[in-house]
Structure 1
Amino acid sequence: MIFQKITHLKNNMKIKLPELGEGIESVEVTDVFVSVDNLVKKDDIIIVVESDKASMEIPTKLDGKILSINVKKGDEIKPGDLILELSDSTSSQTVTKSEPSSTNIDLNVSNSNDNINNDDTEYISLEESKSIYGDGNFEPTHDSSAEQQQIDPGLVVATPSVKKFARELGCDLSKVHGSAKNGRITREDILNFVKGNQNKPSEKAEKTFDDNESQHDKDNLVSELNQTNIKPKSNTQVELKSSSNIQIDDNKLLKYGSIEKVLFNKIRTLTAERMVDSWNTIPHVTHFDEIEIDHILNLKKDIELATESKKVSILTFISRALIDSISKMEKFNSIPDMENNVLIVKKYINLGIAVDTSNGLVVPNIKNAEKLSIKELNDSIIDISHKARNRNLTPSDITEGSFTISSLGGIGGRYFTPIINKPEVAIMGLSRTFKKVYLDNSRIPYEVNILPFSLSYDHRVIDGAEAAKFCNLFKKNLKNLSING
């Protein structure tokens, strides 16, 4: 159990970003749904944040009036950062149990006699298995004179990341007017300042990055410059010192026509980073194969006719055959600990399903998929795909996967090389089915439906012979699959 401290003072509350899950250190604010002086009710959504793989709605757990908002769209915030200050319209000092739903978490007042300390603080137990959304981080607003006093005009108020950003641009923060609370300078203030001064003769338009700066920061900086239409002067360029020494010169591109600059969203940026990391650190080998699936298509039709449940996906049968194969060849369900020369073999299967969304590719996974029936597995695949496309995934949905399926069946192509979802050791790619013509014993042609598939695997852990045996086992399991699984 995790205990979240909730205290009250003068009915004013500070609402902070809750802990969102293991490994999530920061998120980007993608939407702010409230304004100062708005009246909000319990469970109203106040902001939407986006991590590398999921968008999450953050609700308020109290009724009240918004006194101030401390975040805006595009801000990067961390668990514990202040979102807004709220005037609590209730006088009750007890948080009551909320009804469970798809977006709420049960908050239960602890009745334990084992007091953590001797103050009057109430401790609320948070059931992590339900949802991240109800973890309200609340702190009392202190009406101290220290908080109300004017900031010294000679003092620069900015976070370390903003100061670093200003140094990268060669921007003098003492000349920048801060638009945030208490005159705090934001990244947007710096960009606006640079944009307003870019035409001055004394200003340098060229920016070269230091080698010791992270490539991620470089990419984000160039994207932000592009997004705000900050362009170098003629015959100058923004240079990226990367391993490939790629240089971007707008003037060369504009010689042939107009261009458009599209900023990477957080999912696309971090997906790119992880794919590069996986490709550069894992020796990939891909095994290509195919299987006849007419019996699976017939089985799919029979189940759809016999039941009134959700639509049956062919991916359900493929997943079932894969789960059975992984259970027999457990090395494909492992994590290599190369520092200690240990292979960690999982005795459970959290099956990842890659889903193409408007924001990019996300990979939620179905926990303990080996315990599910065909129907339960089918419903889980449909539900988690729906959650991904509607940006309703929680951190629990996208962490701790053990094997991934990536399907291009609805789009096209015959074979491809899927990149392993690190730290997993294998991934299966499914392509679009096609028809192949055979001749029977009487020399009469007939058609069969063929499913092409690709298995990428970590050659540090899996040998080529093992991969071939795994694919043969998968084909056998799929061929022998029945309505009972």
Structure 2
Amino acid sequence: MSEYRYKLPDVGEGVVEAEIVEWRIKVGDTVEEDQPILDVMTDKATVEVPCAVNGVVTKIVGEPGDVIPVGTEILFIDTSGAPAPSEDPEEKEAAPKDEAPKEDKKAEPAKEEKKPEPKPEPKAEPVARAEGDKPLASPAVRQRAMEADIDLATVPGTGPAGRITHTDLDDFIAAGGRLAARAGGGGSGRAKRTGVEEQKIIGLRRKIAENMVKAKTTIPHIAYVEEIDLTALEDLRAHLNATKREDQPKLTLIPFLAAALCRALPKTPQANAHYDTEAGILTKYEGVHLGVATATPNGLMVPTIRHAEALDVWELAAELGRLAKAARDGKATKDELSGSTITITSLGAIGGLVTTPVINLPETAIIGVNKMQELPRFDAGGRVVPRKLMNLSSSFDHRIVDGYEAAVLIQNVKAYLENPATLFMP
């Protein structure tokens, strides 16, 4: 046998280790050169690792969640030859030459399958069970109950000594649990939820957890919340969406908030910055590289709109949509998921009056969108009128941004949003 020992390659500049997220192959699989075999997580993104040779996998080292140094032997491949695709090497080795056809082999497990016990005629009455007594049932019935998340103690049994049969379980499920209430003399009859699941936190979720802990233990957060009157902005947004060209994206609130933030930040530059705690250096940026927190099937990601200050609301909306789709589809690049200088996060579609967002290290500020509501307010003449209002939440690194400076930034953003025509002025 000719064995090839595959080492974890360098998956990015400066990366010395990576976390195993998912193996795409298993022992016995035939692999080809350049075939994706493994997903690993670095500090910035998930990376596909391709195979280097053709052959058959003989050994895999490492499980999802393990952090492996670059250069570690993680895969052993027999390169002397692989079985034809139609062959099953395990089945071929185990079967004698005079083995019966596969159809007969497949029939054997079918004989062993337990058929539901016949429904008794006439139907037997449930046998009373003393409180605390363990319900009697076969392993097959217990397995079915566990898979259906049903507590057998709530199921009446009609078998000998109150034994619970497959038919009893079928009747209980069909009745939605009501049989248990009638047999037990009270109670809701609903099955207890007894399932417990342990999940290993790996990959992006582990990285998010580490970053959140570091941010909260390193940064002294200061929160600031202000109510924004979006009535005029919502009227403008509705008009622009109704008259837009077909090639233009639909406008949400976020592009307007992004535009307002870009205009307001030059007066509070320390909020558009990175702070290196160890070096004690604050790096302030003229350009706004806007991170937008995005929920994806794999967890929270923060794609970055580069130089958001140079884009109008239509361009901001288009770039926002493009990056959000790339992140959700798992196609966002490392560059697209890094380099933000300030972040916007939004739970507005879900609801919530106030949030206290956690700063995205090494940034010094984050802005959070909350639920918009139509509420009564007094106008200049003292009359009660309906207004569209939203609380704008924000968090700042109090080592860098003072409370007064945080308030100045949000008040400037508020002024732009409440007077949206100013967003289109030079």
TM-score after normalising by structure 1: 0.55
For 2:386 and 2:396, how far apart are their aligned partners in 1?
A: 32
Aligned partner of 2:30 among 18, 35, 38 = 38
Partner of 2:296: 357
Q: Confirm or deny: 8 A CA contact 1:30 1:50 kept in the other structure.
A: no
Aligned partner of 1:296 among 218, 229, 233 = 233
For 1:82 and 1:26, how far apart are their aligned partners in 2?
A: 13
Structure 1 residue 41, shift from structure 2 partner: 6.7
Structure number with greater Rg is 2
3-state DSSP of counterpart to 1:431: strand
Q: Confirm or deny: 8 A CA contact 2:365 2:395 kept in the other structure.
A: yes
3-state DSSP of counterpart to 2:357: coil
Partner of 1:334: 273
For 2:420 and 2:78, how far apart are their aligned partners in 1?
A: 57
3-state DSSP of counterpart to 1:26: strand
3-state DSSP of counterpart to 1:435: strand
Partner of 1:367: 306
**How has the CA–CA distance of structure 1 residues 386 and 24 changed in structure 2, closer, same or farther, with 3 Å as cutoff?**
farther
Aligned partner of 2:316 among 377, 388, 392 = 377
Query: Is structure 2 residue 298 aligned with structure 1 residue 307?
Result: no
CA-atom RMSD in angstroms: 3.5
**How has the CA–CA distance of structure 1 residues 67 and 275 changed in structure 2, closer, same or farther, with 3 Å as cutoff?**
closer
Partner of 2:363: 424
Aligned partner of 2:345 among 402, 406, 412 = 406
3-state DSSP of counterpart to 1:316: helix
Structure 1 residue 83, shift from structure 2 partner: 5.6
Q: Confirm or deny: 8 A CA contact 1:21 1:395 kept in the other structure.
A: no
Aligned partner of 2:411 among 460, 472, 476 = 472
Partner of 2:49: 58
CA deviation string 1:129-187 (max 9, x = no partner): xxxxxxxxxxxxxxxxxxxxxxxxxxxxxxxxxxxxxxxxxxxxxxxxxxxxxxxxxxx
**How has the CA–CA distance of structure 1 residues 447 and 470 changed in structure 2, closer, same or farther, with 3 Å as cutoff?**
same
| Paired letter, 1:351 | L
Structure 1 residue 484, shift from structure 2 partner: 4.8
Query: Is structure 2 residue 255 aligned with structure 1 residue 264?
Result: no
Q: Confirm or deny: 8 A CA contact 2:367 2:394 kept in the other structure.
A: yes
Would you tell me which structure has more helix in proportion to its own residues?
2
Partner of 2:9: 17
CA deviation string 1:242-299 (max 9, x = no partner): xxxxxxxxxxxxxx96644333233333322322222222221111102111233233
CA deviation string 1:184-223 (max 9, x = no partner): xxxxxxxxxxxxxxxxxxxxxxxxxxxxxxxxxxxxxxxx
| Paired letter, 2:213 | V
Query: Is structure 2 residue 221 aligned with structure 1 residue 284?
Result: yes
| Paired letter, 1:283 | P
For 1:408 and 1:65, how far apart are their aligned partners in 2?
A: 49
Aligned residue-pair number: 308
**How has the CA–CA distance of structure 1 residues 79 and 326 changed in structure 2, closer, same or farther, with 3 Å as cutoff?**
farther
3-state DSSP of counterpart to 2:295: strand
| Paired letter, 1:307 | R
For 1:463 and 1:374, how far apart are their aligned partners in 2?
A: 30
Structure 1 residue 404, shift from structure 2 partner: 1.1
Partner of 1:446: 385
For 2:80 and 2:407, how far apart are their aligned partners in 1?
A: 63
| Paired letter, 1:30 | E
Q: Confirm or deny: 8 A CA contact 1:32 1:72 kept in the other structure.
A: no
**How has the CA–CA distance of structure 1 residues 372 and 70 changed in structure 2, closer, same or farther, with 3 Å as cutoff?**
farther
**How has the CA–CA distance of structure 1 residues 339 and 272 changed in structure 2, closer, same or farther, with 3 Å as cutoff?**
closer
Aligned partner of 1:47 among 15, 29, 38 = 38
Q: Confirm or deny: 8 A CA contact 2:21 2:203 kept in the other structure.
A: no
**How has the CA–CA distance of structure 1 residues 278 and 441 changed in structure 2, closer, same or farther, with 3 Å as cutoff?**
closer
**How has the CA–CA distance of structure 1 residues 59 and 342 changed in structure 2, closer, same or farther, with 3 Å as cutoff?**
closer
| Paired letter, 2:22 | T
**How has the CA–CA distance of structure 1 residues 325 and 439 changed in structure 2, closer, same or farther, with 3 Å as cutoff?**
closer
Unpaired segments ≥5 residues, structure 1: 1-9, 90-255
For 2:395 and 2:259, how far apart are their aligned partners in 1?
A: 19
Structure 1 residue 69, shift from structure 2 partner: 6.0
For 2:16 and 2:298, how far apart are their aligned partners in 1?
A: 18
| Paired letter, 2:67 | E
3-state DSSP of counterpart to 1:296: helix
Query: Is structure 2 residue 284 aligned with structure 1 residue 345?
Result: yes
3-state DSSP of counterpart to 1:474: helix
Partner of 2:177: none
For 1:403 and 1:24, how far apart are their aligned partners in 2?
A: 28
CA deviation string 1:420-441 (max 9, x = no partner): 1122111111111111213446
TM-score after normalising by structure 2: 0.62
**How has the CA–CA distance of structure 1 residues 477 and 14 changed in structure 2, closer, same or farther, with 3 Å as cutoff?**
same
| Paired letter, 2:368 | G
For 2:387 and 2:36, how far apart are their aligned partners in 1?
A: 51
Query: Is structure 2 residue 18 aligned with structure 1 residue 26?
Result: yes
CA deviation string 1:286-336 (max 9, x = no partner): 111021112332333333331223333321111111122223321111233
Structure 1 residue 453, shift from structure 2 partner: 1.0
Partner of 1:388: 327
Structure 1 residue 33, shift from structure 2 partner: 4.4
For 1:77 and 1:339, how far apart are their aligned partners in 2?
A: 26
Q: Confirm or deny: 8 A CA contact 2:290 2:308 kept in the other structure.
A: yes
**How has the CA–CA distance of structure 1 residues 374 and 18 changed in structure 2, closer, same or farther, with 3 Å as cutoff?**
farther
For 2:36 and 2:311, how far apart are their aligned partners in 1?
A: 33
For 1:22 and 1:334, how far apart are their aligned partners in 2?
A: 23
3-state DSSP of counterpart to 1:432: strand
Q: Confirm or deny: 8 A CA contact 2:295 2:301 kept in the other structure.
A: yes
